[in-house]
């Protein structure tokens, strides 16, 4: 299938990526080759085959709700690129 | 090189328990070897002081009889996508620069409890995406057998460190072959256990339905000892299986009489290097001489396994990696205008090319209009692949296949053609899709002196059989005992 730079622009927005022009053009060609190869699967008739997300029949793993202390806030904030004593800091989003 | 570096992990553990070697001596020897092998670039972080402190404390407990596990006091290293409390964990990515997890992975806790001594964190392909360890932000790891060649990937640092005798065993992760393929390229033994047998809590996710951690070590017995220590149900990982764990080491008899070894003809066809083919098929002869039966059959899904794997893995990666946005941890770009710009700039500058490629690919196959044609289709084919394995294990107990079509390529040969690199994963990815245990072990050398690996695949929860067959092979061969370090010294 043909992959256009417009399609790459669209999935880049969805992925929160902003590729520079040159990188975008290269990526477009690479994705077209890779996706073209994935079209191999079209040779297989999968009519009536259930999509399989997990190979083992494990579902709805439940446990009793337990009240336990949450992680130490200061410990978690230590890893943030920008934080004050109580929160992660980001640019203002609501005027 | 110090003699103890050539011991297996179990031999070192036994020597420690007898008081012949102290954990501190072993740790020092490993740290010296890591320093001597610095050019391999196998490590992203070293924790020498903590390791020596810990070795001292563990040594006291072993002497007092408080720690008795076979691997107590034995130093190891851990792949850099596994969370280690307070120790840099970067997935070899710029975007996680400076991240020090506030908690240990369950696997790390378990090793800690038995008295293991972690030396540091191992280099890898960025976010485990790659087959050569060349996509690391910290530069490529070099293959200890030939510095001009890759160690494989993504657990390339792990395989190189074990091969170079820089640690007795390592913990890697395997999403599509990332333990088995580097083990093959570096001449060590590695196993990806059945999906769900080792808790993924604390493993930074690439493709959650395929990811699994496991050991890379000198031989199958060491792998069995590590799995005995780290397998088991974990309430913090909903996908972990509630099945009995342990007993793998005790079950290594080397008795393979009557075991049916399946040889899928489709894994020995076009594209497989003749030297690799010959060495892998020779494994069958060794097992046959020990009383195993050989069964040949077709495995008619091989041409579909790579596209299916890359669709599913990329889809899950695009979702899992959305958490890296420069807000809660790691690195943040500068000069952004607003919140969306902060995300985009951080991700564009923080991720390498291969990671971005897979995020875009995954976003594409999940996007409206293409979901059915790619993602849903891949999940259907995954069902067919699982069925093909079920059929195969109706005819045999284990499957024998190559690990990779060739031995380790030269550094710089693979990245220019991503599709070609993906195709080299053909023998390993199906095992993850079906959730099965797969082991890679050294079975020869090519004419350039590079190690060749053979893969043994078992049915779900068939670790004991896989390890026992590998152990049987290693009782009769010495490929796993050869080391690049001794080769250099000669």
Chain segment B181-200, per-residue pLDDT in tens: 999 999 999 999 999 999 99
In a domain, B354, yes or no: no
Residue A1 pLDDT > 90: no
Q: What stretches of B64-176 show up as alpha helix (H) in DSSP?
A: 106-114, 156-163
CA-to-CA separations, A7 to A4, A32, B53, B218, B488, in angstroms, rounded: 5, 11, 55, 48, 52
Mean pLDDT along residues B66-95: 98
Question: Is the Cβ pair B327, A80 closer than 8 Å?
Answer: yes
> What share of chain B has pLDDT > 90, as a percent?
98
Q: For chain B, what is the largest distance between any 2 Cα atoms, rounded to a whole number of angstroms?
A: 70
Question: Is the Cβ pair A55, B195 closer than 8 Å?
Answer: yes
Looking at residue B414, what is its pLDDT? Answer: 93
Pairs of residues, one from chain A and one from chain B, whose beta carbons lie less than 8 Å apart: 160
Mean pLDDT along residues B334-354: 97
Candidate from B310, B344, B418 with C-beta closest to A17: B344
Residue A93 pLDDT > 90: no
Q: Which residue of A has its CA nearest to B338?
A: A91
Which chain A residues touch B210 with a CB distance below 8 Å?
none
Mean pLDDT along residues B370-374: 96
**Left (φ > 0), alpha (ψ -120 to 50) or beta: where does A92 sit?**
beta
Candidate from A51, A75, A81 with C-beta closest to B102: A75
B225 min Cα distance to partner chain A (Å): 25
What residues make up the domain containing B229? 3-261+394-489
Residue A61 pLDDT > 90: no
Looking at residue A54, what is its pLDDT? Answer: 86
- Of the residues B329, B346, B364, B426, the best mutation for testing chain A's interface (the one with the most A CB atoms within 10 Å of its CB) is B364
Question: Is the Cβ pair A90, B307 closer than 8 Å?
Answer: no
Number of domains in chain B: 1
Structure tokens at B488: 């250099």
Q: What stretches of B75-145 show up as alpha helix (H) in DSSP?
A: 106-114
A72 min Cα distance to partner chain B (Å): 9
In the beta sheet, which residues pair with residue B400?
B456
DSSP assignment of B262-283: EEEGGGSSTTS-HHHHHHHHHH
Looking at residue B490, what is its pLDDT? Answer: 62
Q: Rounded CA gap, B14 and B6, in Å?
A: 14
- Which of B58-62, B307-311, B449-453, B484-488 shows the lowest mean pLDDT across its residues? B484-488
A38 min Cα distance to partner chain B (Å): 5
In a domain, B53, yes or no: yes
Residue A59 pLDDT > 90: no
Q: SS3 for B379?
A: helix
* Residue A43 burial by Cβ neighbours in a 10 Å radius (0-12, 13-18, 19+): exposed
- Element spanning B77, H or E: strand B75-79
Give the model confidence (pLDDT) of B151-177 as tens digits.
999 999 999 999 999 999 999 999 999
Question: Is the Cβ pair B374, A38 closer than 8 Å?
Answer: yes
Which chain B residues touch A10 with a CB distance below 8 Å?
367
Structure tokens at B322: 């959305």
**Exposure class string for B374-395: b at 16+ Cβ within 10 A, else e:** bbbbbbbbbbbbbebbeebbee
Looking at residue B1, what is its pLDDT? Answer: 63
Task: Report the catalytic residues of B.
Answer: 79, 154, 178
In a domain, B356, yes or no: no
In a domain, B441, yes or no: yes
B212 touches B221 (CB < 8 A): no
* DSSP code of residue A72: P
CATH of the domain at B106: 3.90.1300.10
B157 min Cα distance to partner chain A (Å): 25
B425 min Cα distance to partner chain A (Å): 14
Q: What is the CATH number of domain A5-43?
A: 1.10.20
Question: Is the Cβ pair A52, B383 closer than 8 Å?
Answer: yes
Domain boundaries, chain A: 5-43
In a domain, B91, yes or no: yes
Residue B221 pLDDT > 90: yes
ipTM of model: 0.96
- Of the residues A45, A81, A93, A95, the best mutation for testing chain B's interface (the one with the most B CB atoms within 10 Å of its CB) is A81
Candidate from A31, A52, A81 with C-beta closest to B379: A52
Structure tokens at B130: 């790659």
Question: Is the Cβ pair A42, B336 closer than 8 Å?
Answer: no
Mean pLDDT along residues B307-326: 98
Mean pLDDT along residues B425-442: 98
What is the overall mean pLDDT for chain B? 97
In a domain, B383, yes or no: no
Looking at residue A2, what is its pLDDT? Answer: 92
In a domain, B299, yes or no: no
Give the model confidence (pLDDT) of B222-262 as tens digits.
999 999 999 999 999 999 999 988 999 999 999 999 999 99
């Amino acid at each position: 299938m043909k992959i256009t730079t417009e399609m790459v622009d669209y999935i880049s927005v969805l992925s929160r990526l902003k590729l520079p022009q040159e990188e975008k053009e290269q990526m477009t060609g690479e994705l077209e080759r890779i996706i073209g190869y994935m079209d191999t699967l079209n040779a297989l008739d999968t009519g009536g085959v259930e999509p399989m997300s997990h190979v083992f029949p494990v579902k709805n793993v439940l446990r009793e709700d337990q009240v336990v202390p949450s992680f130490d806030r200061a410990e978690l904030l230590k890893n943030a690129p920008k934080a004050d004593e109580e929160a992660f800091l980001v640019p203002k989003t609501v005027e | 090189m110090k003699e103890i570096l050539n011991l297996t992990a179990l031999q070192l553990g036994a020597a420690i328990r007898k008081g012949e070697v102290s954990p501190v001596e072993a740790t020092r020897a490993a740290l010296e070897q890591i320093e001597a092998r610095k050019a391999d670039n196998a490590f992203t972080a070293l924790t020498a002081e903590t390791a020596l402190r810990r070795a001292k404390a563990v040594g006291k407990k072993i002497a007092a009889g408080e720690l008795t596990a076979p691997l107590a006091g034995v130093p190891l290293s851990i792949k850099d996508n596994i969370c280690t409390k307070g120790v840099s964990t970067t997935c070899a990515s710029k975007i996680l620069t400076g991240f020090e997890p506030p908690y240990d992975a369950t696997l790390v806790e378990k090793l800690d409890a038995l008295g293991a001594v972690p030396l540091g964190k191992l280099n890898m392909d960025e976010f485990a995406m790659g087959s050569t360890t060349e996509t690391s932000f910290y530069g490529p790891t070099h293959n200890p057998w030939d510095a001009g060649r890759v160690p494989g990937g993504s657990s390339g640092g792990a395989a190189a460190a074990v091969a170079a005798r820089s640690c007795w065993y390592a913990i890697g992760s395997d999403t599509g072959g990332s333990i088995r393929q580097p083990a093959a390229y570096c001449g060590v033994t590695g196993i990806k256990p059945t999906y769900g047998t080792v808790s993924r809590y604390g493993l930074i996710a690439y493709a959650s339905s395929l990811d699994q951690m496991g050991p890379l070590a000198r031989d199958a017995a060491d792998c069995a000892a590590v799995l005995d220590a780290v397998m088991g149900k974990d309430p913090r990982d909903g996908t972990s299986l509630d099945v009995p764990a342990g007993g793998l080491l005790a079950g290594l008899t080397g008795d393979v009489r009557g075991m049916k070894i399946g040889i899928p003809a489709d894994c020995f066809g076009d594209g497989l290097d003749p030297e690799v083919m010959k060495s892998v098929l020779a494994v069958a002869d060794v097992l046959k001489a020990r009383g195993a039966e050989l069964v040949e059959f077709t495995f008619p899904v091989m041409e579909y396994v790579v596209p299916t794997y890359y669709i599913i893995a990329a889809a899950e990666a695009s979702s899992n990696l959305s958490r890296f946005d420069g807000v809660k941890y790691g690195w943040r770009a500068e000069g952004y205008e607003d919140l969306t710009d902060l995300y985009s700039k951080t991700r564009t500058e923080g991720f390498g090319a291969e990671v971005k490629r897979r995020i875009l690919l995954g976003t594409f196959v999940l996007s409206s209009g293409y979901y059915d044609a790619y993602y849903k289709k891949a999940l259907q084919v995954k069902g067919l692949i699982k069925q093909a394995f079920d059929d195969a294990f109706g005819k045999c107990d284990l499957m024998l296949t190559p690990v990779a079509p060739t031995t380790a390529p030269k550094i710089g040969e693979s990245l220019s053609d991503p599709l070609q690199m993906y195709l080299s994963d053909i023998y390993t990815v199906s095992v993850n899709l079906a959730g099965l245990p797969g082991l890679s072990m050294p079975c020869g050398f090519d004419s350039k002196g590079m190690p060749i690996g053979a893969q043994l695949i078992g049915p779900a929860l068939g670790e004991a059989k896989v390890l026992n067959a590998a152990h049987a092979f290693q009782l009769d061969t010495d490929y796993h005992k050869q080391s690049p370090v001794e080769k250099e010294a000669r």
